[in-house]
Amino acid sequence: MKFSLVTLTTLCASALAAPTAKKSLKIDFQKQLADSGTTSQDPNQLGGAQGKVPHEVELTNHVVYYLAEVALGTPPQKFQIDIDTGSSDLWVKADGSPGAYSRNSSSTWSHYADNFYIAYGDQTSASGDWATETLGFADAQIPKFIFGEATSATSQPVFGIGYSGIEASIHQPNAFTYDNFPIRLAKEGFVNTPAYSLYLNDFAAKTGSVLFGAVDKSKIDGSLTILPTIKDQTTDSKPKEFLVTLNSIDINVNGTTTNALDKTRHVLLDSGTSLTYLPPQTTRTIAQKFQLLQVSGGWGLTKKQVDALPDTATLDYNLQGAHVGVKVKDLFTLGKNYLNQQLYIEYNGVREPFYQILIADGGDRGPGNDEPVELAKFIFGDSFLRSAYVVYDIGADKIAVSQAKFGSGSAEDLADIQIEDKGGIPAATAASDPVWTQNAPIETSVNYNPQIYRLST
């Protein structure tokens, strides 16, 4: 979906391996922060390049890309593309710029359809035509793969691996659907079923992985809990997005627990988003607990304040009985604006670097402010997903979640994901808590209204 704050560029350190006796394909990626000029924010609204500025300077809302290396064409042309569980289409730039895809350099290109267009939650977009090509990963190749050939784009190219029900092709003249990447992998026999595991690793780590067709039990802390994915509309025949049930959120500090949410909500697990968007009362409860400083577009602390936070402070997310703890200190990142300039705050008479917390107020009507209050969904981006091991089983309309295990150094322990009637997700048990049906009102209010600070460059 791409509601992101930092642009973590995940370069595919090793391409997808060819299928072996175990039916799985893996992408290992590295991380890179966003460069300036990668978002569509109006630069006229930002601070100047030199020194302090007299007017309000806003935080950027795009933090991390996860880029995998793919190859298109014959001979292969290689690209590094943002992996996104919140969208479903693969597209590359084909605008004649350096490094762009060139149909004239490939013997396997074919026009498929006109009017490729996709827009994302961060207001970026891409447009052009639909084409087919040979899609390659090392020795693995998928012929006649449908992708977007973008002649105009304001975004990093995207590798959408979500449900086919949100393909961009559905929303254009002469609409059509097609088998996107997870489905093609299964149909070509590289995996048993359209499913994959996502392991983003901790914030300081340089690598993470997407494992198609299998679970790596060495990266799971505890056990996997299976959650049913939820239909976006009751009239839908099946789910279209990775929506699951959130039952509660607790703040744990030095043995003391403070509840921040006790009403069930449904949330979208989206690697293309950096922030975690929460109900207003929940966000303000967290802000009050850690005495966060309020600025235009978000919350945060000075570096000294972040360093003073207890190492054991966590946010505990309960998803139908599956508990994922997120270390509070890991939620802070150096604040920057849309020109990639470091931001400062004047606090107690001292000008200090500002550190933004990667949670945000999702509003009563969702982050887009366009949903009924009782149906508004919230988005859990990579600031949550880094702490979780998540299995996306598109074929069975299920997601399995556990706490992620970091830095164990253990050898991989892979187990194939099977089709549902042959076992489904291995080493996983069904959730025990109820599934979300609609948003009940949050009756408590939080009396925390600190002054709003101005940031400067």
Q: Are residues 155 and 286 in the same domain?
A: no
pTM for the complete prediction?
0.90
Say which residues have a Cβ less than 8 Å from residue 423's Cβ, sequence separation at least 6.
none
Q: Are residues 259 and 336 in the same domain?
A: yes
Q: Are residues 141 and 247 in the same domain?
A: no
- 348 inside domain: yes
- 425 inside domain: yes
Q: What is the pLDDT of residue 211?
A: 95
Dihedral angle, C-alpha 37, 40, 43, 47, nearest 10 °: -80
Q: Are residues 324 and 387 in the same domain?
A: yes
Does the pLDDT value for residue 36 go beyond 50? no
- Give the closest residue to 309 by CA, choosing from 319, 318, 317, 300: 300
Dihedral angle, C-alpha 113, 116, 162, 190, nearest 10 °: 40
Total domains present in the chain: 2
- 26 inside domain: yes
Does the pLDDT value for residue 30 go beyond 90? no
Within 126-199, residue ranges assigned H as helices are: 181-187
Domain endpoint, select from 135, 160, 187: 187
What does the pLDDT look like over 321-364, one tens digit per residue? 999 999 999 999 999 888 888 999 999 999 999 999 999 999 99
- Residue range of the domain that includes 282: 222-456
- 354 inside domain: yes
Mean pLDDT in residue range 253-263: 96
Dihedral angle, C-alpha 224, 429, 226, 66, nearest 10 °: 20
- 215 inside domain: no
Q: Are residues 149 and 10 in the same domain?
A: yes
Please say if 393 is a catalytic residue: no
Domain endpoint, select from 187, 210, 240: 187
Of 28, 82, 84, 122, the catalytic one is: 84
Q: What is the pLDDT of residue 42?
A: 28
Q: Are residues 283 and 358 in the same domain?
A: yes
Please say if 270 is a catalytic residue: yes
What CATH number should be reported for the domain holding residue 344?
2.40.70.10
What does the pLDDT look like over 290-330, one tens digit per residue? 999 999 889 999 999 999 999 999 999 999 999 999 999 99
Of 232, 270, 382, 416, the catalytic one is: 270
Measured CA to CA, the distance from residue 91 to residue 120 in angstroms comes to 13
Q: Are residues 129 and 246 in the same domain?
A: no
Q: Are residues 157 and 272 in the same domain?
A: no
Q: Are residues 429 and 358 in the same domain?
A: yes
Q: Are residues 181 and 226 in the same domain?
A: no
2 versus 307: the higher-pLDDT residue is 307
At residue 192, φ and ψ (nearest 5 deg) are -75, -35
Say which residues have a Cβ less than 8 Å from residue 97's Cβ, sequence separation at least 6.
none
At residue 305, φ and ψ (nearest 5 deg) are -70, -40
Q: What is the pLDDT of residue 119?
A: 93
**Token representation of residue 69:** 């290396």
- 212 inside domain: no
Q: With residue 286 as reference, give the H or E element that holds it.
A: helix 280-289
Q: What is the pLDDT of residue 16?
A: 42
Measured CA to CA, the distance from residue 334 to residue 184 in angstroms comes to 40
Q: Are 27 and 68 in contact (CB under 8 A)?
A: yes
pLDDT band at 45 (very low <50, low <70, confident <90, very high): very low
Does the pLDDT value for residue 11 go beyond 90? no
DSSP one-letter code for 219: G
Q: Are residues 176 and 310 in the same domain?
A: no
> Chain centroid to CA 189: how far?
27
> Chain centroid to CA 331: how far?
15
Tell me the Cα Rg of the chain.
22
Q: Are residues 283 and 171 in the same domain?
A: no
- 226 inside domain: yes
- 295 inside domain: yes
